[in-house]
Amino acid sequence: MNPRPHVAVVGATGAVGLEMIATLERRNFPVGQLTLLASARSAGKTLKFRGEEVPVRELTADSFNGVDIALFSAGSGVSKQFAPLAVRAGAVVIDNSSAFRMEDDVPLVVPEINGSDIKWHKGIIANPNCTTAITLMALYPLHAAFFCKRIFAASYQAVSGTGAKAIAELQRQINQVVRGEPVTKEVYPHQIAFNLFPHVDVFLPDGYTKEEMKLQNEGRKIMHHPTFRASITCVRVPVYRAHSVAVCAEFEKPVSVEAALEILKRAPGLDVIDNPAKCEYPTPLMVTNKDNCAVGRIRKDCAFDNGLSFWVSGDQLLKGAALNAVQIAEELLKL
């Protein structure tokens, strides 16, 4: 790998794409050349990187000549069409969509958990679902110590997970409610301002949504834990960009709060904020624009013999998307 790689960002003008550009700059990633790619309607715009205006180009089949690393965040349809073209042109693709996550020959990576899986990539490396990544940042260290059999969970997911239009919809609806105006809906089936609803992604025949099944399916692959089971209800909440998850986890080995705290305090990429007596616990606002996820409300689960309940929050656009992708790119440079 070129020590100063030519990096392309696909979907550069979207919420995650903009965060990828900002994260590359903030973490001093050694970008030798930056190519910004988006749809035809965004071509011609410029975005700032290291004090310079970089033009946005239309994504085409020929966009990847000379590119070393391509960060994709433009949806699974775009990834399926263009990621193989990027690989054929010699790039390593780090894909933020669901297109390749469950393919057997594609590593699905959270660097703090299974970074070594990057070594067997065949041109494409998948970024996990945002809720999965944030949950596993707290769950995996506990699994490594106590072996997690199953979890029951509820997620509280920010509108950023749906994209820039959803962020704008929440802001617009808040203003409409405050002004006493009729509330208009474009992105979501229900008003999201001052509301929430248990519906993230499309419903499956068994009543779960695709989003809800991702935590189990992707969790098994990331943790190398084929028997892991997860029952989750995903809830969309009127929060801008940080997800939270309430987790009840059952373990095979006996657990204690004291042992769990010691393990979590040593876990990379995770802050422990756990002092309920002083109302200290993670909140979405607390982790917004922060690289680390945060865990708190750690307690023995009263429904399991070997169980813990906890609450974890993380920035959906960072650890849930852009940061994790850039961290994968950083690991690539070490190979």
Q: What is the CATH number of the domain that holds 51?
A: 3.40.50.720
Residues 235 and 286 in one domain: yes
pLDDT given at position 140: 98
pLDDT given at position 34: 98
pLDDT tens readout for residues 251-304: 999 999 999 999 999 999 999 999 999 999 999 999 999 999 999 999 999 999
Which listed residue (6, 234, 243, 248) is catalytic? 243
Q: What is the CATH number of the domain that holds 191?
A: 3.30.360.10
CA distance 81 to 92: 15
Domain span holding position 242: 132-316
Residues 152 and 88 in one domain: no
- pLDDT band, very low/low/confident/very high, at 1 (cuts 50, 70, 90): confident
Chain-wide mean pLDDT for the chain?
97
Residues 82 and 225 in one domain: no
Q: Which whole number is the average pLDDT over 28-37? A: 98
Q: Which whole number is the average pLDDT over 173-188? A: 98
**In the predicted structure, residue 103 carries a pLDDT above the cut 90:** yes
| 299 within some domain | yes
Q: Which whole number is the average pLDDT over 38-48? A: 94
| 1 within some domain | no
Residues 300 and 215 in one domain: yes
The phi and psi torsions of 208 (rounded to 5 degrees) equal -75, 165
| 284 within some domain | yes
Q: Is residue 130 flagged as an active site residue?
A: yes
| 142 within some domain | yes
| 10 within some domain | yes
Which listed residue (121, 130, 143, 234) is catalytic? 130
pLDDT tens readout for residues 49-94: 999 999 999 999 999 999 999 999 999 999 999 999 999 999 999 9
- pLDDT band, very low/low/confident/very high, at 249 (cuts 50, 70, 90): very high
321's CB contacts (< 8 A; 6+ apart) are 16, 19, 20, 73, 96, 127, 130
Share of the chain above pLDDT 70, in %: 100
Q: Is the pTM of this model over 0.85?
A: yes
DSSP class of residue 197 equals B
